[in-house]
């Protein structure tokens, strides 16, 4: 029998849904990290770059941890306020939304 969890609005969330969401978050963060790394490499070689809007979008759709990790690891986009403030802010909003959905 599948275990179900109750969220704030009395709807049941299955363990499979939680697992699928966790896998999605893992994959989107890996993809985001890799894309930020590719953009950094292209910047060093003065090649065509990945649009900043794409980088921000990847963070917004769940890749904020991957974006922040890549920013530190590659030292990329660390002088741009839209990234140094925007990406952590996106993460805070995402964490609040998850907590709001599950707890409150």
pLDDT in tens, 20-75: 999 999 999 999 999 999 999 999 999 999 999 999 999 999 999 999 999 999 99
Type and span of the H or E element at 14: strand 12-14
- Whole-model pTM: value is 0.86
- Chain centroid, CA 15 distance in Å: 22
Q: For residue 24, how many other CB atoms are within 10 A of its CB?
A: 12
Residue with tokens 């994959």: 27
Task: State the total domains in the chain.
Answer: 1
Give the residue numbers spanning the domain of 59. Answer: 4-102
């Amino acid at each position: 029998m599948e275990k179900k969890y109750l969220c704030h609005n009395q709807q049941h969330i299955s363990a499979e849904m939680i697992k699928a969401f966790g896998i999605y978050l893992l994959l989107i963060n890996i993809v985001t990290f890799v894309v930020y790394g590719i953009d950094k490499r292209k910047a060093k070689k003065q090649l065509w770059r990945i649009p900043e809007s794409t980088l921000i979008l990847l963070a917004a759709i769940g890749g904020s941890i991957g974006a922040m990790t890549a920013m530190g690891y590659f030292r990329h986009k660390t002088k741009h306020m839209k990234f140094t403030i925007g990406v952590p802010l996106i993460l805070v909003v995402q964490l609040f939304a998850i907590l709001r959905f599950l707890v409150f």
